[in-house]
Amino acid sequence: MTDFFTTDHDEFLLLACDGVWDVMTNQEAVRFVRERLADGAAPTDVACQLLDACLASDPKEARGVGCDNMTAIVVQLRRGAGAPAAAEA
């Protein structure tokens, strides 16, 4: 187990398995998540969108890339610029 401290600059935590990283670079995934969170999307929706974006449309053509089992979790640590305030239930 590793302990780490977040800073005021940390926006979110993205946990994803190798199937995601086979398709996207770290920076591509960060940009993908950051843009959607800033638009007000819920972290669970962003994780689903990320997985959808990584899926191969044609497994034969992709030669296995985008066909692996994929899991992603997005944890929003703070609201980014332009994100709406949380609605209370």
Residue type, 38: A
- What pLDDT was estimated at residue 26? 94
In a domain, 4, yes or no: no
In a domain, 3, yes or no: no
In a domain, 59, yes or no: yes
CA distance 89 to 86: 9
Nearest residue to 76 (alpha-carbon basis) of 19, 4, 15: 15
In a domain, 5, yes or no: no
- Domain residues for the domain of 42 are 12-76
In a domain, 2, yes or no: no
In a domain, 86, yes or no: no
Q: How many domains does the chain have?
A: 1
> pTM here?
0.75
In a domain, 68, yes or no: yes
**pLDDT digits (tens), the chain, 89 positions:** 888 888 888 999 999 998 899 889 999 999 999 999 999 999 999 999 999 998 866 555 655 455 567 889 999 997 654 344 444 33
Phi and psi angles of residue 72, each rounded to the nearest 5 degrees, phi first:
-145, 140
- What pLDDT was estimated at residue 49? 96
In a domain, 89, yes or no: no
For residue 47, count CB atoms less than 10 angstroms from its CB and return exposed for 0-12, middle for 13-18, buried for 19 or more.
buried
